[in-house]
Structure 1
Amino acid sequence: MDDDHGDRANQNGHDAASELVGEDLEIGYPTTSEPVVECDTVVVPRGEVTALVGPNGSGKSTLLKAMANQLAPEGGHVLLDGEQVQSFDSKQLARRLGLLSQENESPGSLTVEDLVYHGRYPHRGFFESVTEKDNDAVDRAIDLAGVDHLRDQELRNLSGGQKQLAWIAMVLAQDTDVLLLDEPTTFLDLHHQLRVMDVVQTLNRERNITIGVVLHDIAQAARFADNLIAMRDGEMYDWGPPTDVVTEELLADVFRVDATVDHGPSGPHISPNVAIDDGE
C-alpha cells in the first residue's frame, strides 16, 4: 500500500480524486439478528457529490458508517481506490477519508480554532508540535467554512448552525481526498443549510474532493448533488443523476408522498401534494 498517496494528492491540490465502493455489503449491529442494510454495489464516484436519501430508518446513516469504516460489515467489503478500508490503520485512513457524524461531543470551553486544530491529528506524530503546514490547513478550513469571525469563540456560546460549521471546518482541516457527511443540515435553519451545502459544492468543484452526504431533504439533494442513492428498507431503490432518480414514482414508493416533479435548468423541482396513507 502507498502510505504517501494521500499526501501527494493533497500537495497536488487533490488532482487525483478518490473513489469509494462497497461490494456485496451486509451491515448490521450487535443488537440486530439480521442485517439492516444489504447492498450489492454502492459507488461514491471520484470527484463528485453523491447524496444518500430516503425516509427515517431506510439505512442511509448505517451505510455511510460502513463506508467510513466506523461499522464493520458482516459481509462484503468497502474499497478506497481499490484498497479495503480495513487494511488502513486509523491514521492512514484519516488522512484519506474524513467523516462528520451526527454525534459530535466536545468540551464547551473549547474554542472554534482549538476544535479545528483537532482535525490535524492524522498528520502529526504523538509528540510532534504544530507545523506551518498545520497552521495553513487550519486557516484554509476556517476560511472555507466561513467561521473566521468565530475563531476565538467557545463552542458553548455558538448557535446550532455555527457549531455545525465549526465541526465542518474541523473535518476540512484533515485535508482528505474523500469527505463523508451524515445529515450535516439537520436541525439547521435555511440560511445555515444553504451555507453548509455551498461549502460542500466549493470543496468538490475547487478542490476535487469526493463527497458522500446523507441528506434528509430530497429537494436539496437534487439541487446540490451530482448523484443520488435512494434507500428504502435497508436496500438501494435507485442510483444515478437527480434528473433520472427523482420521479413521482420514487417519491410515492420511497417517501410515501404524492408529488409533482418538474424538470428545469437547476434540476428536478418537487411540489409535494399530499402524504400517502401507509395503508395504501
Structure 2
Amino acid sequence: MGPLAQPAGSQRTTESPPTARLEMTGISVAFGGVLALTDVSLTVEPGQVHGLIGPNGAGKTTLFNVACGLVRPTEGRIVWRGDELRRLKPAQLTRLGIARTLQGVGLFPLMTVLENVMVGAHRHAKAGFFSALVALPTSDRDERRLRERAMAALAELDAEQYAGRYPGSLPYPVQKRVALARALVADPDLLLLDEPASGLSEEEMNELGDLVRGLSDRMSVLLVEHHMDLVMRVCDRITVLDSGVQIAAGTPAEVQADPAVTEAYLGDAVEAEPTHATTFEGGATRG
C-alpha cells in the first residue's frame, strides 16, 4: 500500500475501539426563507465510515457545515457522545475530539507545512500551541513534542520532505496530504472529510480509500464525496440527499438497490465493485 494508506500518528490500539457516536436528528436549515435542509437525520456509529452523497445542490455541504459548527440549524439536535451540542462553533471541535478537512485545503499560507500540521496537534499540548510556536521557555518540551508528532504525521503520509516549505509552493495533491495530516495528527474520535479525493490521481484515490477504511478501528468518519466508487468501497452506511431532503439511507448495497437512488444519482453504470472513478457531473461540482 502507498503512503496515504498508513494512518498517521495513532495513539490507540484495537484494545480500545471507538465508542463515540454522532447523532444529527431532524436537521432543518433555512437561508433567507429558502429551505436548504428539511428534517434530515443521520447517525455516524462508533468505528464506522458514513458516506453522505447526492447530486448538485442536494445539501451535502450544508449538512457537513452543520456538523462542523459553520452553519447553525434552524431546527434539530446534534448529539455527540451522548451530550447535545448547542450553538456548536468550529473552535470547539478539537476540544470535542473532532477533526475536519474542507473542500479546499484550508492551510495557512504564511505558515510552513510543519507549522500547519502542528496546529492540528495543539490539543495534545500542555502549554498551548501558540506558546510552543513562539518557543517560550516554559514550553520548550511541549514544542519538541508537537514538532515530533507533526513530523511523524507528515512521514506517515510521505510528506515529511515538505515540512519547511510553504503550502502555496506545493502541488495541490501534496497540499491535500498536508491537510489530511493536520486532521489526523489530533488523533480524533470523529473525522469529518469533505471531498478528500478531489484533485487526486486514481492511484492516490485508491490509497486514500485504504486509509479511510483503515481508520475505523480508532475513529468514526463522516465522508462527503462525489466519487461513487470510493464511497461504495469504504463506507459502512450511506445517506442520500436530494434538494435538501433525505431520500435514502442504508448500506452501500441497500442504497444501490434503491430505485430512486439508482435512477437519479448513481445510474446503471455503477457496479458493486467498480474499477473506474465515477462522479456526479465529472466530480467538479459542489453540493
Whether contact under 8 Å (2:72, 2:87) holds in the other structure is no
Change (3 A) 1:34 1:183: same
**Mapping 1:101-140, distance limit 5 Å:** 101-124=102-125, 125=128, 127=131, 129=139, 130-131=142-143, 133-140=145-152
How far is the alpha carbon of 1:262 from its aligned partner?
4.5
1:224 aligns with 2:234: yes
Distance 2:98 2:212 in 1: 15
Q: Once the 2 structures are TM-superposed, how far is the Cα of residue 132 of structure 1 from its aligned partner?
A: 5.2
Partner of 2:5: none
Deviations 1:28-57 (A, max 9, x none): 33xx31320123421111101111111111
Local SS of the residue matching 1:163: helix
Note the residue ranges of structure 2 that are not aligned, 5 or more in a row.
1-9, 133-138, 282-287
CA distance in 2, matches of 1:113, 1:271: 32
SS of 1:254's equivalent in the other structure is helix
Following TM superposition, by how much is the alpha carbon of 1:89 offset from its aligned partner in structure 2, in angstroms? 7.3
Alignment match, 2:174? 162
Q: Describe the SS at the equivalent of 1:79.
A: strand
Tell me the distance in 2 between the aligned counterparts of 1:16 and 1:145: 23
Deviation at 1:246?
1.2
Q: 1:15 aligns with which of 14, 17, 23?
A: 17
The DSSP-based 3-state class of the residue aligned with 1:115 is helix
* Residue in 2 that maps onto 1:6: none
Offset from partner CA, 1:40-94 (integer Å, 9 cap, x none) = 4211111011111111110111111112222111101111111122377766531
Q: Supply the distance in 2 between the matched residues of 1:147 and 1:192 (Cα, whole angstroms).
A: 13
2:50 corresponds in structure 1 to 50
Cα deviation for residue 104 of structure 1 reads 3.7
Tell me the equivalent position of 1:24.
26
* CA-atom RMSD in angstroms: 2.9
- Matching of residue 182 in structure 1 with residue 187 in structure 2: no
* Superposition pairs of residues 135-154 of structure 1, within 5 angstroms: 135-154=147-166
Higher strand share: 1
Q: Which moved more, 1:10-19 or 1:241-250?
A: 10-19
Contact 1:85/1:93, CA 8 A, preserved across alignment:
no
Correspondence for 2:246: 236
- Verify the 8 A CA contact 1:248 1:259 in the aligned structure 2: no
Deviation at 1:133, TM superposition (A): 4.5
Deviations 1:174-210 (A, max 9, x none): 22110001111123222332233332223223xx210
Aligned partner of 1:249 in structure 2 is 259
Match of 2:268 in 1: 259
Aligned: 1:197 with 2:206: no
Deviation at 1:148, TM superposition (A): 2.2
Distance 1:56 1:105 in 2: 22
When residues 250 and 112 of structure 1 are mapped into structure 2, their CA distance, relative to the original with a 3 A threshold, is farther
Verify the 8 A CA contact 1:251 1:259 in the aligned structure 2: no
Give 1:241 shift: 1.1
| Alignment coverage as a number of residue pairs | 256
> TM-score, with normalisation over the residues of structure 1?
0.79
| 8 Å CA contact 1:261, 1:271 repeated in 2 | no
Identify the structure with bigger relative contact order (alpha carbons < 8 Å, sequence gap 6+). 2
Q: Is the 1:24–1:75 contact (alpha carbons within 8 Å) kept by the matching residues of 2?
A: yes
By how many angstroms is 1:228 displaced? Answer: 1.1
How far residue 240 of structure 1 moved from its aligned partner, in angstroms, is 1.3
- Structure 2: distance between partners of 1:131 and 1:250: 53
Between the aligned partners of 1:74 and 1:19, the Cα distance in structure 2 is 22
